[in-house]
Structure 1
Amino acid sequence: MSVLIIIFLTAVAALFAGVFEQGKFSRYISILGLLVAFYVSFLPEAEFFNQYKSMFDYTVNAALFTKIAIVITILLFFLGGFSFSNHRSHQSELYALMLFALCGGIVLFGFQNLVTLFLGIEILSIPLYVLAGSNKTDLRSNEASVKYFLMGALATGFLLFGIALVYGSSGSFDLYKIHQFSLENSKDLMFNAGAVLMLVALAFKVSMAPFHMWSPDVYQGSPSLITAFMMSVVKISAFFAFFKVMSIGFFGITGEWINIVGVLIIITLFLANVMGLAQSNAKRMLAYSSVSHVGYLGLIFFGLNNLSAYNLAFYLFAYSLATIGVMMCLIWVEKLKRETSYNAFKGLAHTEPLLAVAAAISMLSMAGIPLTAGFMGKFSIFAQAIETTPFLVLVAVLGSAISIAYYLRLIMVMFFPKESSFKTSERVPLTYNIVAVFIIAALLVLGIFPDLFATQFGM
């Protein structure tokens, strides 16, 4: 709760910096507030907040995912100065809205009640509807905002209907009372229907196929830094909420919904990877790549054990770092070329080798190549699931193999073009080089010494 309050106050301060026409300081205020919040996240909660534990509890898992989300947000804000250079008149609003969305994510990490779950999802989502359309002169950005809002409203309807059925049958919003009810009344039709409706709603939120139809257009149309935020921080928040609801609240009726998740995983992995191969636009390819990773993450529901939450955290952290590594490169190219097609990246490695190397290692990590953090993340989730569902693990391995093709395509364009078209006198900002070095080091070190993740995040 302390971290949540600090980030909320930081968002307000960033917002008011714009009111007093000091928007250029909003990024520094935001980063400072996030650093303070990150430090506080390692401290035990004050006893005063114990009275709210029935609604929000800062558990060990909540603390772990909060730390990850804060680190990823800090890295994104480091990229904001260059990325938001066209938004000088309302930079403060963009940073503030991202922080408000992060507040929603933190609520989702610690929710103990379905009412808190709903509030967290809405606090997370509403700022994103505005952020997606923040490039007001771009029709694609406007379309992204409207499409995200409409699909988000539809998913919210499913969620509320599901919550109503669950409450009507169990008589409680409390997650652990619902857990107990699911153990004792596994054949309750109304309860099972509510669980399935909530599953569908949360599948929308994490963009699991076939409920992913909004994400490629929204990710492509949104400003690129906002897209990176949605692919990383929002994905972390939404998927952990999905995991927590299904693995705790509906644990007693796992048999009723686990096969649905299995089918969704197969559809997601097949559809996202095949569509990724068909793309000629790097940003849209990354959107389908993001959808495919939801398929790999879905395997966390199979073979649940005490390490499942940790394995999920490691994978999401590795994936988010890799996402920033690629999107950072895309932001730079988009600013110079005004496009994100594969051709726009030709010869980037000759002009900005550090940026290209960071993007290449990030994509190799996404593909699950050994000695990267992405490989260790996939290995831990696949190893957990293989005893209960070897077929799904085989499908996931095949999906990873397919994904290598579209990742390598972009790498080849950057490093081995037939004719380089990337010539510019403008240099990458220092902050981008710092983030690139951090991401390269983190992905390789965690790929070789994965236990460092636990030690660095206070596990």
Structure 2
Amino acid sequence: MSVIIIIFLTAVVALFSGVFEQGKWARYIGIAGLLVAFYVSFLPEHQFFAQYKSMFDFSQTAALFTKISIVVTLLLFFLGGFAFSNHRSHQSELYTLMLFSLIGGIILFSYQNLVTLFLGIEILSIPLYVMAGARKTDLRATEASMKYFLMGAFATGFLLFGVALIYGSAASFDLYTIQAFGVANSTNLMFVMGCVLMLTALAFKVSLAPFHMWSPDVYQGSPSLITTFMMTVVKISGFVALFRLMTIAFYGVFSEWINILGVLVIITLLLANFMGLAQSNAKRMLAYSSVSHAGYIALIFFGINNLSTYNLAFYLFAYSLASVGVMMCLIYVEKIKRECSFKAFNGLAKTEPILAVTASISLLSMAGIPLTAGFVGKFSLFAQAMDALPILVVIAVIGSAISIAYYLRLIIAMFFYEESSFNTTEKVSLTYNIVAVFIIAAIITLGVYPDLFAYQFGL
């Protein structure tokens, strides 16, 4: 709760800083507030907040995911100076909305009650609808905002209908009371239907196929830094919320929903990776890549054991680092070339080698190549799921093999094609190079010595 209060106050100050010099101080205020929040996340919660434990419990697990989300958001704020240079008139609002959305994510890490779950999802989502349409003169941005809003409202309807059925059967919003009811009444039709509806709603949020239809258009139409936020912090929040809901509240009806989730995983892995092959736009390809990673992450529900939470956290952190690494390269290319086709990346390695290397290592990590954090993350999830349903792991390996093809297209474009149109005076800033070096070091270090992740986050 202390972390939420700090981030909220930071967001308010950042918002009102827009009165001065077009909000140029909002980014620095946000970075300072996030650093303070990151420090506080290592401290035990104040006793005063114990009275809210029935609704919100900032446990060690919640603190872990909070730290990960804050680190990723910090990286995005460092990139914001260049990425938001076309939004100078309202950049303070964009930073503020990102902070408010982060608060919603932190609530989803700690909710103990279905009411808190609903509040967390809405606090996370509503700022995103606004940020997706930040480029007011761009029709794609308007389409992205409207599509995200309409699909989000549709998913919220499923969620609330499911909550109503769960409350009607279990007579409680508390996760553990619902769990006890499910264990004793696993064949209760109203309860099972509520479970399926809530699973469907959260499948929309994390973009599991066939509920992913909004993702490619929204990711492509939104400002690239906001797209990165959706690919990382929003996906982390959605999956943690889904994991807590299904493994705590609906543990008693595990056999009723696990097969449905298995079908969604198969559809996601095959559809997203084949669609990724067909793309000519790098940003849209990365959108389908994000959908495919939702399928890999969902393997966490199969063969659940004591290490499942740690495996989930490691994979989400590794994937988020790789996403930031690729998208920071895309942000630069999009700014220079005004497009995101694969051809736009031709010859990037000759003019911005650090950026190209960062994107390449990030793509290799996404593909699960050894000596990267992505390989360790995928191996952990695959090893866990192998004990429960080997066929899913086989399909996941096939999906990973397919993904290498479209990841390599981008790497080949950057390193092996001649291109002269990068002759520009607008070079990558020192901040971008520092973030790039950090991402390269983190991906390789965690790939070689994954235990460092547990050490760094106080586990």
TM-score by length of 2: 0.99
Deviations 1:139-162 (A, max 9, x none): 100100000000000000000000
> Which residue number in structure 2 is paired with residue 126 of structure 1?
126
Deviation at 1:20, TM superposition (A): 4.0
Deviation at 1:351, TM superposition (A): 0.4
> Which residue number in structure 1 is paired with residue 326 of structure 2?
326
> Which residue number in structure 2 is paired with residue 71 of structure 1?
71
2:156 corresponds to which letter in structure 1? T
2:339 corresponds to which letter in structure 1? E
State the distance in 2 between where 1:226 and 1:126 align.
13
> Which residue number in structure 1 is paired with residue 288 of structure 2?
288
Number of positions where the alignment pairs a residue of Structure 1 with one of Structure 2: 459
> Which residue number in structure 2 is paired with residue 230 of structure 1?
230
Asked if 1 retains the 8 angstrom alpha-carbon contact of 2:104 and 2:122, the reply is: yes
Q: RMSD of the alignment, in Å?
A: 0.7
1:107 corresponds to which letter in structure 2? I
2:310 corresponds to which letter in structure 1? Y
1:285 corresponds to which letter in structure 2? M
Asked if 1 retains the 8 angstrom alpha-carbon contact of 2:216 and 2:284, the reply is: yes
State the distance in 2 between where 1:67 and 1:388 align.
30
Residue 274 of structure 1 pairs with residue 294 of structure 2: no
> Which residue number in structure 1 is paired with residue 424 of structure 2?
424
Deviation at 1:424, TM superposition (A): 2.0
State the distance in 2 between where 1:42 and 1:420 align.
48
State the distance in 2 between where 1:401 and 1:421 align.
33
Asked if 2 retains the 8 angstrom alpha-carbon contact of 1:344 and 1:422, the reply is: no
> Which residue number in structure 1 is paired with residue 311 of structure 2?
311
Q: Secondary structure at the match of 1:413?
A: helix
State the distance in 2 between where 1:155 and 1:451 align.
38
State the distance in 2 between where 1:107 and 1:19 align.
29
2:187 corresponds to which letter in structure 1? K
> Which residue number in structure 2 is paired with residue 94 of structure 1?
94
Superposition pairs of residues 20-59 of structure 1, within 5 angstroms? 20-21=20-21, 23-59=23-59
Asked if 1 retains the 8 angstrom alpha-carbon contact of 2:67 and 2:457, the reply is: yes
State the distance in 2 between where 1:58 and 1:22 align.
36
Asked if 1 retains the 8 angstrom alpha-carbon contact of 2:265 and 2:296, the reply is: yes
> Which residue number in structure 2 is paired with residue 212 of structure 1?
212
Identity of aligned residues (%): 76
State the distance in 1 between where 2:61 and 2:185 align.
28
1:220 corresponds to which letter in structure 2? Q
> Which residue number in structure 1 is paired with residue 140 of structure 2?
140
State the distance in 2 between where 1:426 and 1:96 align.
27
Asked if 1 retains the 8 angstrom alpha-carbon contact of 2:279 and 2:285, the reply is: yes
Deviations 1:176-218 (A, max 9, x none): 1111111111000000000000000000000000000000000
1:289 corresponds to which letter in structure 2? S
State the distance in 1 between where 2:374 and 2:113 align.
32
Deviation at 1:419, TM superposition (A): 4.7
Asked if 2 retains the 8 angstrom alpha-carbon contact of 1:346 and 1:421, the reply is: no
2:222 corresponds to which letter in structure 1? S
Deviation at 1:423, TM superposition (A): 2.5
State the distance in 2 between where 1:426 and 1:328 align.
15
Gaps of 5+ in 1: none
> Which residue number in structure 2 is paired with residue 12 of structure 1?
12
Superposition pairs of residues 95-244 of structure 1, within 5 angstroms? 95-244=95-244
Gaps of 5+ in 2: none
TM-score by length of 1: 0.99
Superposition pairs of residues 360-399 of structure 1, within 5 angstroms? 360-399=360-399
2:317 corresponds to which letter in structure 1? F
State the distance in 2 between where 1:387 and 1:283 align.
35
Deviation at 1:422, TM superposition (A): 2.9
Asked if 1 retains the 8 angstrom alpha-carbon contact of 2:22 and 2:90, the reply is: no
Residue 402 of structure 1 pairs with residue 402 of structure 2: yes
State the distance in 1 between where 2:22 and 2:184 align.
58
State the distance in 2 between where 1:46 and 1:434 align.
35
State the distance in 2 between where 1:425 and 1:117 align.
48
Deviation at 1:19, TM superposition (A): 2.9
Deviation at 1:427, TM superposition (A): 1.0
User: Runs in 1 of length 4+ with deviation above 6 angstroms?
Assistant: none
Residue 412 of structure 1 pairs with residue 412 of structure 2: yes
Deviation at 1:418, TM superposition (A): 4.8
Deviations 1:46-91 (A, max 9, x none): 0000000000000111000000000000000000000000111111
Residue 457 of structure 1 pairs with residue 457 of structure 2: yes
Q: Secondary structure at the match of 1:79?
A: helix
State the distance in 1 between where 2:8 and 2:94 align.
14
> Which residue number in structure 2 is paired with residue 357 of structure 1?
357
1:417 corresponds to which letter in structure 2? Y
State the distance in 2 between where 1:221 and 1:19 align.
28
Deviations 1:359-406 (A, max 9, x none): 000000000000000000000111111011000000000000000000
State the distance in 1 between where 2:391 and 2:383 align.
13
State the distance in 1 between where 2:420 and 2:296 align.
35
Deviation at 1:425, TM superposition (A): 2.7
State the distance in 1 between where 2:36 and 2:168 align.
42
1:105 corresponds to which letter in structure 2? G
